[in-house]
Amino acid sequence: MTAHFSDIKGKHVIVTGGSKGIGRDVAIEFAKLGASVVITGRDENALIETKSELSRFSSPHNYIVADMREVTEVIQMVDEAAGLMGGIDILVNNAGVNLPKSAFEVTEEDWDSMIDTNLKGSFFCSQQVGRYMLKQKKGKIINIVSQMAFVGYFKRAPYCASKGGAVQLTKALAVEWASQHINVNAVAPTFIETELTKQMLEESTFREDVINRIPLGKLARPRDVTGAVIYLASNMADFITGETIKVDGGWTAI
């Protein structure tokens, strides 16, 4: 019997925001499965640290410093990654920011930072990666969105808007590229204890409110999200496109 996810071995993978949190966990799992991985982000020290972890596994792995808000940098990053690996089979659009503020306090800079990182960056990264996948007539793109694409929450207006847009982007690209055998899907996590959420989850009232909204009664871990990503990247999900898997412990089922 063929081992689950054995088809991941030898694949060429880009994970944006791959040095921390969910992205780091996803990148490490791809490396464990024998893929060649390029991680990207803005923090070079964190990228170097994570690349060192990836290097424990056989395939060659690299990092590229890039800001997802800058389209020129995104395009250059994709081209460099394709050159380093000899192609791109899988893209995980994980890079994201969240700046919790009440709607009246949100500045134009706040709005642009979240929309540009969470939505614009994902589109232009997918666009450039899509050019490579088009040539080979196959590929998998997985967008990390959020349950906030489906429900509202306090102090999250721009974040909800950006992630809701990313879900619709997933559907639009899936439809447009289906004939080229490029699958585009998304994973929508609930709150997870990562560098991005650690400080906000230290507030006891907020943490209690979040857990009370999750029927499973606990927070997710990065590996819960990674499982969904690996599944969508594998040949077990070849007939799935335009879909969003919610990893939310049942929050949006209520």
Tokens, residue 110: 């706040």
Q: Are strands 36-41 and 90-93 parallel, antiparallel or unpaired?
A: unpaired
Say if residue 80 is exposed, middle or buried (CB neighbours under 10 Å; 0-12, 13-18, 19+): middle
Active site residues: 159
* Whole-angstrom distance, CA of residue 53 vs CA of residue 66: 20
Are 151 and 172 within 8 A, CB to CB?
A: no
DSSP readout, 113-173? Answer: HHHIIIIIHHHHHHHHHHHHHHHHT-EEEEEE--GGGTS--TT-HHHHHHHHHHHHHHHHH
Please report, for the chain, how many H helices and E strands are present, in that order: 9, 7
Q: What is the DSSP letter of 95?
A: -
